[in-house]
């Protein structure tokens, strides 16, 4: 598995040099660069190619690699022109990923309307955009929709996977466990002894996992089983710390997450 630092929140004020230094000190070989949040690392859909090249050079000098270009472009707009603009922007991200050796691009769905009858058309629109991006990326770059927003509910994220059906289009699991969630269409009963049915459903599409609150007693058991299932299935994709820590000691917290990850994957 590819242990990765996602720059959401924790890296919101770090320039590239500080970010890479922290990754080296705390044990993250891969860096997931969040886009559309105006982070100081400066990698965005419209960033000049020279900036991507300079960042890649710094990564290589530090012994690190790109883990993902993580776009926050969405495709839920009912306006075709807005969806087309988001597709155009992510195609530029894919171009930079291809040129600079990043094999993973994340996008968002993201929010479905409250009216149930209006949802299928929006899901179809999102699927069409993701399919276009997957076709554009080709076999060497994964384009993955995060299980985020309305697509946190596996019912809707799996709809996208079935509609698109491309080998390089996948899911980023956002570690929101579908247990006792009566408001979701896909839901495992509270107290269920195993999340294996959920894992087996998403595993064929899984390209990345985002970790949150891994240290809490209420979620630790899910993580322990999930990592065991990942290991048993031979998963070799990304696992990213997205703890979003903004407190006074990020180095300590990032080290703690690395230690927890290593303990999980060591069995």
> What's the rounded Cα separation, in Å, for the pair 125 and 75?
7
Q: What is the pLDDT of residues 40-89, one digit of tens each?
A: 999 999 999 999 999 999 999 999 999 999 999 999 999 999 999 999 99
Range of the domain at 197: 2-265
Q: What is the pLDDT of residues 121-164, one digit of tens each?
A: 999 999 999 999 999 999 999 999 999 999 999 999 999 999 99
> What's the rounded Cα separation, in Å, for the pair 265 and 267?
5
> What's the rounded Cα separation, in Å, for the pair 257 and 267?
16
**How many domains does the chain fold into?**
1
The residue-averaged pLDDT of 216-231 equals 95
- CATH no. for residue 152? 3.20.20.150
Report DSSP letters for 107-135, one per residue: E------SSGGGHHHHHHHHHHHHHHHHH
Rounded to two decimals, what is the model's pTM?
0.98
**CA 82 to centroid of chain Cα atoms:** 22
Average pLDDT, the chain: 97
> What's the rounded Cα separation, in Å, for the pair 162 and 132?
15
- Does residue 17 have a cis bond before it (omega within 30 degrees)? no
Could you tell me if 171 and 202 are in contact, meaning their C-beta atoms sit under 8 angstroms apart?
Answer: yes
Q: What is the pLDDT of residues 168-179, one digit of tens each?
A: 999 999 999 999
The residue-averaged pLDDT of 188-203 equals 97
Please give the structure tokens belonging to residue 194: 């195993």
As a whole number of Å, the CA-based R_g of the chain is 18
pLDDT of residue 82: 98
């Amino acid at each position: 598995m590819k242990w990765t630092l996602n720059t959401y929140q924790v890296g919101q004020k770090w320039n590239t040099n500080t970010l890479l230094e922290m990754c080296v000190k705390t044990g993250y070989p891969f860096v997931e660069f969040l886009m559309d949040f105006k982070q100081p690392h400066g990698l965005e859909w419209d960033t000049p190619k020279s900036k991507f090249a300079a960042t890649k050079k710094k990564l290589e000098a530090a012994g690190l690699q790109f883990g993902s270009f993580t776009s926050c472009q969405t495709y839920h707009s009912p306006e075709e022109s807005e969806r087309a603009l988001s597709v155009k922007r992510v195609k530029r991200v894919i171009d930079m990923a291809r040129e600079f050796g990043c094999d993973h691009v994340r996008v968002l769905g993201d929010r479905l309307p409250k009216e149930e009858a209006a949802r299928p058309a929006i899901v179809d629109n999102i699927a069409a955009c993701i399919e276009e991006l997957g076709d554009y990326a080709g076999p060497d770059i994964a384009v993955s929709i995060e299980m985020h927003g309305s697509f946190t509910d596996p019912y809707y994220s799996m709809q996208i996977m079935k509609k698109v059906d491309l080998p390089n289009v996948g899911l980023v699991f956002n570690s929101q466990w579908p247990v006792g969630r009566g408001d979701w269409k896909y839901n495992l009963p509270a107290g269920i002894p195993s999340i294996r049915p959920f894992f087996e459903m998403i595993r064929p599409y899984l390209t990345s996992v985002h970790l949150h609150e891994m240290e809490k007693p209420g979620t630790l058991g899910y993580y322990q089983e999930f990592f065991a299932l990942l290991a048993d299935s031979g998963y070799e994709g990304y696992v990213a710390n997205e703890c979003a820590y903004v407190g006074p000691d990020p180095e300590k917290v990032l080290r703690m997450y690395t230690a927890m990850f290593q303990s999980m994957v060591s069995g």
